[in-house]
Structure 1
Amino acid sequence: MSTIGDSSGTDGNDRGETDGDESGMAGRVPDILDSDASKERDDPLSRDMVFDVLKNQRRRYALHYLKQIDGTVQLSDLAEQVAAWENDTAVDTISAAERKRVYTALYQSHLPKLDDAGIVDYNQNRGIVELSTAAEQIDPYLEMDARDDITWCKRYLALAGAGSVAVAASSFGIPPFGGLADLSLAVLVVVAFALVAIAHTVDARNAPTTGEQSPAIEGE
């Protein structure tokens, strides 16, 4: 991993938010957290704050990396992986300019913002960062659980199988479907699918809208 020295300037690639708006934090050197500050980081994060933090893809990438490492991380290592994800390439193939651009934005803007929100503990002087205990509160918004989609797929498959069995039973006169007319059976199947679809729609609308698949760290 390459180590990059402290840099100045603004990030030209804002990923949906202007990094220059927060560049005034460049000289910020966080103090050691006292007991009161640590307690504040256990307080619930507001929904508006969570959405504000996660609306920027670069910050989401940084959080994905920190969650997978689960410990203290060097800023240089974090910047390299985020740059690789942003450019859809491997860490070894990113250019010095790509690495420096991400490093500068994280150092000056994104990590101070995450630290102020209480989501990470960032020591700008030493160039190290780790997740705080409050970071657990953003999990439902940060990660999309693909298992939920699989669950709904299984429900549709089960309903389709039950419908097929009902149709076959009706054809052979097997109770209780044997006495149903074809139209009645069709209406019953359609209503069942409609109810499941409505439940799926309600569940999707109530789900967080910022979730995404966590990118994988190379070699993990």
Structure 2
Amino acid sequence: MSNRGAGGLLGRRPPEEETGLPKDEIFDLMSNHRRRYTIHHCKQADGPVSLSDLAEQVAAWEKDKSISELGSAERKTVYTSLQQTHLPRLERAGIVTYENGEVELTNQTERLDIYLDIVPENSIPWGVYYLGLSFLSCLVVVGLWMDVLPTGAVPTLVYPTIIIAAFTVSAAYHALANRRYRFENLDEPL
């Protein structure tokens, strides 16, 4: 019996079933920096955010200035763009609610987190890292089978212990790094 079904591989649902949005729509929504900035700022807030505060923060990130350094034209341009284009688009997608000049994220945003993870520049993808670690582990096991590795002075269980420790430390670091690089944990969005 196959593990495929209406829920996809191993019971995992496709993104459109989890978020109500097709994957292409999610990527299209996230392709615009003002929408990403909006989500980022709202994730950092404890509750609803006023449109004027949101526009100021988005303009500040865009212009790489502090809010106090912004001119009124810079604020107004972003305010108008958010009000007329980006917030209605995010609201139609079910990502935010926008009422009475206040913006608030919906629960749908939590389901987008997998698409908002940030991978720092110059980092090795975790899949490649674990593949390399697995390859080295296989070399150690083959070395033990072929009696290439010393086992007289070193107890045989030391090698598997080192392998397990390497995977455990790597997985723990991976989990911490993922938490640190979550979209809402960055000071400024990308």
Written as runs of structure 1 = structure 2, the 5 A alignment for 1:1-220 is 44-123=20-99, 126-144=100-118, 149=124, 151=126, 155=130, 176=146, 178=148, 216-217=186-187
Rg larger for: 1
Shift of 1:49: 1.9
Cα distance in structure 1, aligned partners of 2:75 and 2:94: 26
Q: Given residue 78 of structure 2, which amino acid in structure 1 is its aligned partner?
A: V
Per chain length, whose mean CA-contact separation is higher, i.e. which structure has more relative contact order (CA < 8 Å, sep 6+)?
Answer: 1
1:116 and 1:213, CA in 2 relative to 1: closer, same or farther beyond 3 A?
closer
Deviations 1:131-180 (A, max 9, x none): 0111122211123255x958568658868987xx9xxxxxxxx995649x
Identity %: 42
**SS across alignment from 1:97:** helix
Shift of 1:67: 1.1
Deviations 1:18-49 (A, max 9, x none): xxxxxxxxxxxxxxxxxxxxxxxx86222122
Structure 1 unmatched runs, 5+: 1-41, 166-173, 180-210
Shift of 1:116: 0.9
Q: TM-score, normalised by structure 1?
A: 0.49
Structure 2 unmatched runs, 5+: 1-17, 150-180
**SS across alignment from 1:129:** strand
Cα distance in structure 2, aligned partners of 1:80 and 1:105: 12
Answer whether contact 1:122 1:128 (CA < 8 A) is retained. yes
* CA-based RMSD: 3.8
User: Number of residues paired by the alignment?
Assistant: 137
